[in-house]
Structure 1
Amino acid sequence: MRIFAISATYNKEFILEKEYSKPALDKRTALVKAESYCAYQERAQQEIRNKLYDWGLRHDDVEEVITELILNNFLNEERFAMAYVSGKFNIKKWGKVKIKQGLKLKKIPEKMILKALNSIDYDDYLKTILAAAEKKSAVLVEKDAYKRKYKLITYLMGKGFENNLISEVLKDNNLS
């Protein structure tokens, strides 16, 4: 009976190992898949690099595929940064701090991050802070004015807005 248990364990491990070991893609196939992956939506170089490693490519092949994607304009970090900022600000209503952190996680260079963040209109940014503050203020049930203000500021900072702008907007609109 003991031999059967060992045999079953061995077979189970063998089956699991077989299921998880995928054959590595060749460079040409990986390039075609990466082009399709990039055509679907804007991607950062680091996202593509990680995906290529997942597909089993070696370092030299990964860098060659990325170079090819850049030359064929499938991959453009500046375009990605602009699209990321636009989406996170206009759709998710994130502040610049949170957007900047997201871009840093994707290993976008600092100059490109600043350029993309500067594309946000200042007046629209303040209107977004105000809209978020008004929306949150409407659902806060806190009676104590100091706790209410603290909760509102904490919420807005969590959305990625700068503390000085939050204070300015709250003061100008009598929300503090």
Structure 2
Amino acid sequence: MQPPKKTYTLQEATKKLEHYCAYQERCHKEVVQKLTSMYMIPEAIDVIVVHLIQHNFLNEERFAKTFVSGKFKIKAWGRRRLTFELKQKDISKVNINQALATISEDDYNEYFNSLAEKKANSIKERNVFKKKKQFVDYFLYRGWESHLVYDKANELIK
């Protein structure tokens, strides 16, 4: 026999979600998924989401900017991957563009160039074509623009 599912009152769920959002920036989709997993009814979910937005626990624009900043600096993701991941989280195009605008063109290129040199030096492959392929695959997977990646591969790997 299964244990009974834990149920929450509106106040308990609201408090729990305030902590959930205060701990780390969240997007609307994550909050709704969390509430759904807590077996909350759609009307209660709407009430809680509105409360979180009104009390500034939930802010899609702030989430997008934090997400972009973190994934760019820590995981070295390029714009294409960042855009894709934000779209997966149902973030609006306006917020995605604002968040991407927080990365200056100079910082973006500078970061890419230093990362590319490190990566090129770390690949031990002797065969030039295989080495280029490893280099290109690494950066395309992380969502860097293909023209940047191919130009850099041709410049660094000979």
TM score, norm. by length of structure 1: 0.83
Shift of 1:22: 2.0
1:119 corresponds in structure 2 to 102
* Alpha-carbon displacement from aligned partner over 1:132-170 (angstroms, at most 9, x marks no partner): 221221121222323222221111111210101223444
Name which of 48, 53, 64 aligns with 1:65. 48
Are the equivalent residues in 1 in contact too, given 2:135–2:153 (CA < 8 A)?
no
Residues 88-127 of structure 1 mapped to structure 2, 5 A cutoff:
88-127=71-110
8 A Cα contact 1:130 1:170, kept in partner = no
Does the Cα contact within 8 Å between 1:129 and 1:156 map onto a contact in 2?
no
Moved over 4 A (4+): none
Q: Structure 2 regions of 5+ residues with no counterpart?
A: none
Change in CA separation of 1:169 and 1:123 when aligned onto 2, cut-off 3 Å: farther
TM-align CA RMSD: 1.4
Write out aligned runs for 1:18-167 (5 A): 18=3, 21-167=4-150
User: Identity of paired residues, percent?
Assistant: 36
Q: Which amino acid aligns with 1:159?
A: R
Structure 1: stretches of 5+ with no match in the other structure: 1-13
Is the contact made by 1:94 and 1:161 (CA closer than 8 Å) also made in structure 2? yes
Whether the aligned pair in 2 keeps the contact of 1:96 and 1:161 (CA below 8 Å) is yes
Higher relative contact order (CA 8 A, sep 6+): 2
Q: Does 1:175 align with 2:156?
A: yes
Distance in 2 between the 1:61 and 1:82 partners? 28
Determine the C-alpha separation between the residues in 1 that align with 2:90 and 2:146.
Answer: 25
Whole-angstrom CA distance in 2 between matches of 1:54 and 1:102: 22
